[in-house]
A and B are shown apart, each in its own frame.
Chain A
Amino acid sequence: MEIRGLVKRYGGRAVVDGLDLSARRGAVTAVLGPNGAGKTTTVECCEGLRSPDAGSVRVLGLDPARDGARLRPRVGVMLQDGGLPSGARARDVLPHVARMYAAPRSVAELTERLGLAAFGGTTVRRLSGGQRQRLALAAAVVGRPELVFLDEPSAGMDPQARHAVWSLVRELRGEGVAVVLTTHLMDEAEDLADHVVVVDGGRVVAQGSVAELTTAAGRTGAAAADDRTLVLRLAGPLSEADLAGAVGPGFAVAVPAAGTLTVTGPVTPATVAAVTAELARRDVLVGSLEVGRRTLEDVFLDLTGRTLR
């Protein structure tokens, strides 16, 4: 899947604004972003549910807006709101979707894998959120797709169901399927994703593997795995350049938010001492000083801000 310069406007406001994104076969691509970042709209343009205002979208080498009939058998979709007929009994839904395909996966096997039999006699409207998600996931993969879009696949699931879903996603990847998932769950992205794309304001603000995103720029492999990040919250002013000068080369210094600075690299007790010495020299009082491994959530919040929206 290849997206280049995608733009989609609603009432003159660009919800997706020049977005580039690609997803490979046999890999899980996670699209992260706050609500309203443009994730769902982007995915809907790839599913042929919306047509882009500008830019190009190629899915399995085809244009979803024009070649929908040829793409639909090869692409599986799980929508955020489920999209399952609310009056139908759960056990009737999956066989029905399977009938749309020439050679679907075994309904019995998927029912077993995702524990769907436990609520087969219940109507869709009475299912819990997690049960509905599992049924929707089964419907998305029953046609043996080459590409699947999963919109928040494990939202509302208990840990057992979540692990069943994750193992199915890993298996799909192993079979060579391209998996594109949007999620708010950072542990889901950390566990599953080969490639993480952070979207905000309709654009890609960062992308890479989880390791690339959580370590300092330019450092990869074993060295990067030992990296720590020192996070400073300050009551007074301190410039990025001064801090970089104090810790020396080999460290990445960033200012993710006003009053917060981060130092990422091979942080040692000496590094911490150098930082506090610089603060003493500048007469700046530290509010908090924390050393730890950066998680994807830290990166995400640094990139997209901590304010509620």
Chain B
Amino acid sequence: MTDPATTDPAPTDPAARPAAGPAAPTAAGAAPVGRRVAAQAAFEARAVLRNGEQLLVTLVLPALLLVGMTRSTLVSIGTDGAARVDVLAPSVLALAVMTTAFTSQAIATAFDRRNGVLRLLATTPLGRSGLLAGKVLAVLAVEVVQLVVLGAVALALGWRPEVAGAGPALLAAALGTAAFTALALLVAGTLRAEAVLAVANLLLVLLALAGGVVVPLADLPAGLAAVAAWLPSGALGEALRVALLDGTAAAGPLAVLAGWAVVLGAAAARLFRWAG
């Protein structure tokens, strides 16, 4: 009979080591999953907030649009009796979600993929799923910073949001973040880094101006408005405007956003390549 004291410890024991071989190094093991993901999220969020170009796209550009378009009437926007800033603030918040969840995330992930960062992190205890969770949390963290800064600028310009719309607005932002992060990963995981740089910036400008983000659907040419209503950009813009202007949930745009989140998420999961 084997002495129970000399049998191998249970494999679930984190300190389990095969008995053979010279003195094994002590106490290898992973940090708890929450700490790993939080560390990755903080690292990525700091990377965005410290990078000049990323700050330009995620904070300076939306802030300039907000101030510039509120103060000047160069671009005509139908306000239906509401203050101009009350229409523009939700639009700029929609743009902010796109800059962080899509443009900034696509570019960062594409270069991390090309430089082997995704492969290396996949070999640490963080793993691929932890890396994805960290990215999503980092996007949300940067969005909170955007909300605080852009919200403060809008309030200073006289924005009076409908408080009852906070819930639907957060839902729209969450669905929009899911859809655009999935699109970012789809682009970053399939194209060359240089191509991602071009696509991510071009798509941002096109969708912002003609996709129903900064310019409301009602102010777009009829044909374009019909298309934009079915785009994630138009759906996010409308859902945020309805929520923060009327204090209600816009079922149609929210459903469109949810649909995009599912489709883009599935496509990214299928087509994403970890190595560049």
CA distance A146 to B15 in the complex (A): 12
The reply to whether the CB of B10 lies closer than 8 angstroms to some CB of chain A is no
Tell yes or no: A73 within 8 A of B by CB: yes
A145 to chain B: which residues have CB within 8 Å?
A: 25, 28
CA A99 to CA B51, docked complex, whole Å: 22
Q: Does A226 contact B (CB under 8 A)?
A: no
The answer to the question of A258 belonging to the interface, with a C-beta cut-off of 8 Å to chain B, is no
> Interface readout for A166-177 with B: 1 if CB under 8 Å, 0 if not?
000000000111
Number of A-B contacts (CB under 8 A): 119
Does A99 contact B23, Cβ atoms closer than 8 Å? no
Specify which of B20, B30, B126, B274 lies most central, judged by the most chain A CB atoms within 10 Å of its CB: B30
Q: In the complex, are the beta carbons of B120 and A83 less than 8 A apart? A: yes
A97 close to B22 (CB less than 8 A): no
How distant is the Cα of A49 from the Cα of B23 in the complex, in angstroms?
A: 29
On chain B, the residues within 8 Å of A72 by CB distance are 30, 123-125, 127
Q: B28, A74: Cβ atoms under 8 Å?
A: yes
* Residue interface bits B20-56, CB-to-A below 8 A is 1, else 0: 1111111111111001100100010001000100000
Residues in A neighbouring B30, C-beta threshold 8 A: 72-73, 100-102
A136 to B117, CA, bound (A): 11
B125 touching A61 by the CB < 8 A rule? no
Any chain A CB within 8 A of the CB of B4? no
Let me know if A102 and B27 touch, CB within 8 A. yes
In Å, the complex CA distance between A126 and B116 comes to: 16
Contacts of B275 in A (CB 8 A): 49
Whether A103 sits at the interface, judged by CB under 8 Å, is: yes
Is the CB–CB distance between A103 and B120 below 8 Å? no
> Chain A 90-104 against B: per-residue CB contact (8 Å), 1 yes, 0 no?
001000110111110
Q: Does A153 contact B (CB under 8 A)?
A: no
A194 at interface, CB cutoff 8 A: no
Asked if residues A84 and B29 are in contact (CB atoms below 8 Å), the reply is no
- Complex: A79 Cα to B120 Cα, angstroms: 7
Q: Which residues of A contact B23 (CB under 8 A)?
A: 175-176
CB-CB under 8 A from B111, the residues of chain A are 86-87
Q: How far is the CA of A145 from the CA of B28 in the complex (A)?
A: 6
Nearest residue in A to B275 (C-beta to C-beta)?
A49
Measured CB to CB, the closest approach of chain A to B158, in angstroms, equals: 38
Contact A79 B112, beta carbon cutoff 8 Å: no
Chain B contacts of A26 at CB under 8 A?
21-22
By size class, the interface of chain A is 35 or more
A24 touching B21 by the CB < 8 A rule? Answer: yes
What does the 1/0 interface line of B250-276 toward A look like (CB < 8 Å)? Answer: 000000000000000000000000110
Q: Is B79 on the interface with A (CB-CB < 8 A)?
A: no
Scan residues 103-156 of chain A and give those whose CB is less than 8 A from a CB of chain B. Answer: 103, 136, 139, 143-146
Known: A73-B30, A101-B28, A103-B27. A84 touches B127 (CB 8 A): no
Distance A82 CA – B123 CA, assembled complex (angstroms): 13
Is B60 on the interface with A (CB-CB < 8 A)? Answer: no
Contact A100 B125 (CB under 8 A): yes
B160 at the interface (CB under 8 A from A): no
- Note all chain B residues with C-beta closer than 8 A to A101: 28-31, 125
CB distance from A133 to the nearest CB of B (A): 13
Q: Which residues of A contact B119 (CB under 8 A)?
A: 49, 79, 83
User: CB of A48 within 8 A of chain B?
Assistant: yes
Within 89-139 of B, Cβ neighbours of A (below 8 Å) are at 111-112, 115-117, 119-127
Check if A100 sits within 8 Å of B36, measured CB to CB: yes
A86 to B114, CA, bound (A): 10
Residue of B27, B32, B274 with highest tally of chain A CB at under 10 A: B27
Distance in Å: Cβ of B55 to nearest Cβ of chain A: 13
Cβ of A86: which chain B residues have Cβ within 8 Å of it? 111, 115, 117
CB-nearest residue of chain B relative to A49?
B119
Contact B115 A85 (CB under 8 A): yes
Binary contact track A41-82/B, C-beta < 8 Å → 1, others 0: 000000111000000000011000000110011110101011
Residues of B within 8 Å of A162, CB to CB, are none
In the assembled complex, A294 has its CB within 8 A of some CB on chain B? no
> B18 an interface residue at 8 Å Cβ cutoff?
yes
The listed residue (B24, B26, B39, B120) touching A99 by CB distance below 8 A is B39
Partner of B22, one of A25, A88, A103: A25
Closest to B26 in A: A144
- Smallest beta-carbon distance A109→chain B, Å: 14
> In the complex, are the beta carbons of B112 and A48 less than 8 A apart?
no
In order of increasing CB-CB distance, the 4 nearest A-B pairs are A83-B120, A83-B116, A25-B21, A73-B30
A-B contact list, 29 entries, CB within 8 Å: A25-B22, A47-B123, A49-B274, A69-B127, A72-B30, A72-B123, A72-B125, A73-B125, A75-B123, A79-B116, A81-B116, A83-B115, A83-B119, A84-B115, A84-B117, A85-B112, A85-B117, A100-B36, A100-B124, A100-B125, A101-B28, A102-B31, A143-B28, A144-B26, A144-B27, A146-B17, A146-B25, A176-B22, A176-B25
Given contacts A81-B116, A99-B39, 9 further A-B contacts (CB under 8 A): A73-B29, A73-B125, A74-B28, A86-B117, A92-B43, A100-B31, A101-B28, A136-B120, A143-B28
